[in-house]
Structures are given as C-alpha cells and as structure tokens.
Amino acid sequence: MWPKKKQHESESKTRQETLQTELSSCGADVHALRRINAKLEAQLKIEDFRIRWRESDHAWSKLWAPTFISFVVAVAASVAGYQALAAHRLEAEGVNVEIVFRAVRDKPQETRANLEALNEAGLVHLTSQQINRLSSLTPPPAK
C-alpha cells in the first residue's frame, strides 16, 4: 500500500471512533445528532470518492486483463487443436501402413491384387504408381 493510503486508513479509523464516541455521548439531543449525521454523510461521500479514485488507479487492468487472458486461452486452444490434427493425421497414416503391410504376400501379383482391391474399396488411397512400387514388397521372415 502507498504511504498516503496507509495514512488514510488509519485516519479513517480514527474518524470513525471519534464519531462513535460523539454519538454515544449525545444521548437524545436532536441538534447534536443532526450535526453528527451531517459529518457522517460528508465522511461517507469522501470515502466513496476515495474508493472510486482507487478503482481508477486500476482501470487499465479491468480493461486489458480479460482481453489478454482471452487471447492467451485462444492461442493455447489453437495450438492444442493443431497438435490434435497432426496426431490424427499420423494415426491415419499409421493405419494405412498397417493395412498395406497386411496386404503384402509372397508373390508380387497377389500383393498387387490385394492393394488394388483395398484401393477400390476405399480403405487406402493409392495411385497406380504407388501400387506398382508397393507390389514389390515381400513379407518379413516368419519368426
């Protein structure tokens, strides 16, 4: 807290105690009560002004903090979405590789026929050049 704010807090407490003491000592005197009421109203207006002044000290944070936080969250969400898309593409490519490896047979003609059948069924998307290259694959040796 700034020194002036600390001073104001202590002075405010002192004023409150003074008003309470005056109020307790007045009893039923109407004029004294009206005077205390007027002092209290003035003090409350000053306190309200001070509160508004403090709020104005931090007005920039009320404006820019939500904007900045929203921007950070939007960037984080975009990055997470991009990572999910990349992971999905890699997973789909891995599935296609697995399908192609399961289609490989001992004879290149059988492999070519399997790959063409998979391509026609829409399980893999291969061009005729890719099918020609992949038909030369041989299965790994049995363990």
Instruction: Map out the domains of the chain as residue ranges.
Output: 1-58, 67-138
pLDDT digits (tens, 9 = 90+) for 70-86: 999 999 999 999 999 99
As a whole number of angstroms, the distance between CA 94 and CA 9 comes to 68
Going residue by residue through the chain, which has 143 residues, state the pLDDT in tens, using 9 for 90 and above. Answer: 567 767 777 877 887 788 778 777 766 677 877 887 888 888 889 888 888 887 777 777 778 888 999 999 999 999 999 999 999 999 998 988 888 888 888 888 888 898 889 888 888 888 888 888 888 878 877 76
Instruction: Answer left, alpha or beta for residue 7, where phi above 0 means left and psi between -120 and 50 means alpha.
Output: alpha
Enumerate the H helices of 27-58 as residue ranges: 30-57
Residues 136/108, Cβ–Cβ less than 8 Å? yes
Q: What is the DSSP letter of 132?
A: H
